[in-house]
Amino acid sequence: MLDKSFQEYYTKVKMVNYLSKTIYWKSVDYDKKIKFSKDRALPLIDENGNEHSQLFEQQPIDSVENQVIESYNLPLAEKIENQILKEAFENLTDRQKEVIQNVYGYEKNINETAYEMCISQQAVSKIHKNAIANLREKLLKGCESYD
């Protein structure tokens, strides 16, 4: 009976410890997320010195900003001006193109790209490394042919 009581007590202690650690790490993640969102939406100060938050106020978008936003959604292949680089990009595999598009076109990091593609961070890193190596190799060959 004493053994059974101790086992129940020990199980409860382990459960409380687990829950305590889970709550702690979730709160740390929440704090990081809040800090990240605050860093991304810095307050604006108008000419009168009044502070406005970018999160809640809609700012007028002029034509230059509108063009930047529109070009953000374009595929990376349409943004590349160097013909050799464009051809090298088109010769990449679909997965390599997707990784390069996310990392350089949409400015996502490797972890965000991995989450979006439902593969591991290591796999995305390897695909990225191979894609860059392929692009570099084709660029160097293309530059040598112009010499």
Q: What would the two tokens of residue 71 be?
A: 């070009």
Q: Is residue 60 over pLDDT 70?
A: no
Tokens 């530059």, located at residue: 143
How many angstroms separate the CA atoms of 102 and 81, rounded?
18
User: What separation in angstroms does the CA of 120 have from each of 5, 57, 113, 126?
Assistant: 44, 37, 9, 10
Mean pLDDT, range 93-114, rounded to an integer: 87
φ/ψ of 20, rounded to 5, equals -60, -45
Tokens 């009581």, located at residue: 5
Mean pLDDT, range 3-26, rounded to an integer: 90
Q: Of the ranges 64-68, 73-77, 114-118, 123-127, which one carries the lowest mean pLDDT score?
A: 64-68
Which amino acid does the sequence have at 13?
V
For residue 117, the tally of other CB atoms under 10 A from its CB is 15
More confident residue, 44 or 53: 44
Q: What is the pTM of this model?
A: 0.49
Q: Is residue 41 over pLDDT 70?
A: no
φ/ψ of 65, rounded to 5, equals -65, -35
